[in-house]
Structures are given as structure tokens and as C-alpha cells.
Amino acid sequence: MKSTRLVSLTCAALLIAGAAAYSADQAKDGGKNDAQRETTTQQDFDTVDTHKNGYLTANDLKSDDYVSRNFAKCNVKHNGHMSREEYDNCHA
């Protein structure tokens, strides 16, 4: 009888710990799920290219969290200048 109660208490403790960890993760991400985190409204290239030089730098993309975090991956040519095509493909 005691071992059954111990197993039940252990399961309950693990469930509560898991729920707390999940809740903390949701709070950190603003309650967004994976699809919502990766799906952002992409601004038009010309709007982001405020210097009108035909490419974007990491500094130009500070307002776009996803592209800013993934600049190195999205900048396929690895030249520090993201082209219109690279920018469009980054959100795809």
C-alpha cells in the first residue's frame, strides 16, 4: 500500500514540475507556439532598406526578430549584405 502511494506522489510531483517548466517556457516566448514564433509579418524589402542601397545589413534588420537572429543563415553569400532574394527566402 505504501509503495502505491509513493508512486502516485512521485507521478504527481513530476507532472507539476513539467507543467511549471512548460509554463515558464511559454511566459518567456510570450505564450506563442512554434508556428507563431517563426511566422512573422515580413516587411517589404524597400521599407527595410532605409539607406536605399539595394541590400540589407544586420543593423537594418534589428526590427525583424526572426531575420536578425538568423542573419548568418539567411545571408547565403556570407558577405554581410543581404540581397532582396536572400531576404525574401529567409521568411519562406
CATH code of the domain made up of 40-92: 1.10.238.10
Annotated domain spans of the chain: 1-32, 40-92
b/e burial code for range 55-71 (CB count within 10 A of at least 16 → b): bbeeebbeebebbeeeb
Q: What is the pLDDT of residues 52-89, one digit of tens each?
A: 999 999 999 988 888 989 999 999 999 999 999 999 99
Q: What's the rounded Cα separation, in Å, for the pair 18 and 40?
A: 28
What pTM was estimated for this model as a whole? Answer: 0.54
Q: What is the pLDDT of residues 20-62, one digit of tens each?
A: 666 665 655 555 554 444 555 788 999 999 899 999 999 999 8
